[in-house]
Structure 1
Amino acid sequence: MGPNRPKPEPVTPSDPSQRVPKQWVSFFFYELDTAFRSLSEQEQTEARAEFAAVIQKYQESGTIVVPYSTVGLRSGCDFFLWRIDYKLERLQELQVELNRTKLGKHLKAVQSFLSMSKRSTYIDKIDPEHDNVRTRIKPGRGKFIFVYPFVKSREWYLLHPMTRQGIMDEHIWVGNKYPTVKLNTTYSFGVDDQDFVVAFEGDYPEDFVELVQELRETDSSKYTVRDTPFYTGIKGTLEEVLDKL
C-alpha cells in the first residue's frame, strides 16, 4: 500500500435501515439410520408427521423449505432440505427443533452448504435482468435439482476485473443456450468452506449433463479448484420425500 493512499470510504452502511436485506441459504443433507426401518409402521408414521409439523410451522412463519429425495441416487444421503430465511438464527432454530424429533434422532447430517444471496460481480449482457433475480432466491422451479460447492483459484481473483468479465462472458453465453436449466448462485465467502453454492433446477436432467460438459470446455473452467461433491435431488412434498425413507 502506498504512503499517500487516502482513507477508504465505508462500503457497508452503519445504519441498519439503509441495509438491503439478503437471504441466508442453507442446504442440509441427511442420512437415515437403518434402525428407523425396524420401528413399527405406526411409529414411523408418527415420527414422519412430527418432523413434517416442525418444518410446516417454520414455513408458515416465513422460512422457505423445499425437500428433495436422494434415495437410490447417491450413497450416504437419503434426502436434503433447501432452506432460506433472512435471519440466520431461524435456520439454526429450525435444525435444533428437528434434531429433537423422533425422526431427527435417527438422522445423521452428512453435508451442509451455507451461503447468502447477493448481486453478481459479473454482468449478463444477454439477459441483464437476470442479476436482479439472484438477489432474491425463488426455489422449487424444477422437478430436479443439482447442487454443489464451487471454489475458484486465487489466480482467478487476482485477474483484472475486465479480464474476468471477458472470461465470464463466454461462460454466461453457454449458460443461455440451455433455458430449461435455471441457475441459482449464492455466496459463501467467509461463512463456509466454498466460495459459492451452485444449484441448478430443471425438468430435464439430460440438458444439465450437456450444459456441464460444455462448461468444462470454457476458459473459466481452468480456474476451478473444486466443484464436488455433486448432489442430485428429486423434488417432492414433505410427505412424499419422508415416505421414501
Structure 2
Amino acid sequence: MTEIQVHGFLYFRVPQGLRTPEMREQVRRATEEAQKFPGVVALYPYSLVGLRASADLGFWLATDEIEAYQWVGGRFLRTNLELTASLWGYVRPSQYTGQSGISVQVPGERKRYLVVYPFIKTHDWYQLSADDRRAMMKDHARVGHAFTEIDQVLVYSTGIADWEFVVGYETDDLKRFSELVTALRSTAGRLYTRRDTPIFTGRHGPLQDVLHEVFGEEDPQ
C-alpha cells in the first residue's frame, strides 16, 4: 500500500445559481476521477449543508505526496465549485510522545461525523522547557483517553501554512465530542492556545447521498 504522507481537508461552496443537476454530475465525475488518481490513498465526502455558511461540501483526502493533493483540488475547481478552505499537513511522530497523531484506519470505514480545525500555539508555549510542554501534553492525552470512541487525525504544517497543526476528530456522537472539547479546555495547556478556528463539522455518507443533500434530486431522464 502507498504510504500516506499528507492528510488534507478541502471545503467547497456551490456558487449561487449553480445548484443544478449538471453541476451535480460534474462533481460526481470529479470525485470518481480523484479517487483513481495516482498517489490518492483515500477520499471521503462530507455534507456541511446548514452547518456552516462558507461551505456546502467537504472532502477528507489522504495522499502519498502534496502533488496528488493539489491535483485533486484543481480537479474540483474545474467543476466551478468555490474552494473556501484547504487545511492540510504532513504525517510525523509527535515530539512529545514519539507516536503518530493518527488513530484512525485509512483506508477504512468512516464514522458519522468529522470535525476539523487548524491549531496555533502561542509564542510563550515555545519558551517553556521541553519537560513542561511534555507534561501538559500528557495531561491533554489523559483527558482524551476517557473518550475512546472518538478518533483523531493530527498532522503538522508548521512553517508551510498559516497554522501549525490541523486536527480532525471522528465521532458518531457530536454531543459527546463537545463534552471532550469542554474537558480539554480545562487543562493547563489551553492557556497556550492562540487559535483553533475556523471549525468545520461535516457528516459523512455515500457520495450519492452527500450530493443529494447538496444539489437535490437527480435530473429525471
Quick one: distance in 2 between partners of 1:45 and 1:32?
Answer: 10
1:165 is aligned to: 134
> Is 1:177 the equivalent of 2:146?
yes
2:28 is aligned to: 49
CA contact (8 A) 2:103 2:151 kept: no
Change (3 A) 1:161 1:80: same
Larger Rg: 1
The correspondence of residues 231-242 of structure 1 with structure 2, limited to 5 A, is 231-242=200-211
The correspondence of residues 77-226 of structure 1 with structure 2, limited to 5 A, is 77-100=55-78, 104-105=79-80, 107-123=81-97, 131-132=99-100, 134=102, 138=106, 141-226=110-195
Change (3 A) 1:195 1:133: closer
Deviations along 1:159-193, one digit per CA (max 9) or x if unpaired, are 11111111112111100011111111110112211
Quick one: distance in 2 between partners of 1:62 and 1:29?
Answer: 17
Structure 2 counterpart of 1:95, which letter?
G
Quick one: distance in 2 between partners of 1:135 and 1:244?
Answer: 29
Displacement of 1:50 in angstroms is: 2.2
Deviations along 1:62-113, one digit per CA (max 9) or x if unpaired, are 431111110011112101111111121111122222222xxx21x1111111
Change (3 A) 1:217 1:141: same
Displacement of 1:132 in angstroms is: 4.6
- For structure 2, the residue ranges without an aligned partner over 5 or more in a row are 215-221
CA contact (8 A) 2:91 2:100 kept: no
Change (3 A) 1:138 1:187: same
1:30 is aligned to: 12
Change (3 A) 1:237 1:22: closer
Deviations along 1:102-146, one digit per CA (max 9) or x if unpaired, are xx21x111111121110011229xxxxxx2563987365411111
Quick one: distance in 2 between partners of 1:201 and 1:167?
Answer: 23
Quick one: distance in 1 between partners of 2:64 and 2:34?
Answer: 16
Quick one: distance in 2 between partners of 1:50 and 1:225?
Answer: 40
1:15 is aligned to: none
1:11 is aligned to: none
Percent identity between matched residues is: 31
Quick one: distance in 1 between partners of 2:158 and 2:118?
Answer: 12
Instruction: Give the SS at the match of 2:10.
Output: strand
Quick one: distance in 2 between partners of 1:27 and 1:54?
Answer: 17
Alignment length (residue pairs): 211
Quick one: distance in 1 between partners of 2:31 and 2:123?
Answer: 42
Displacement of 1:240 in angstroms is: 1.7
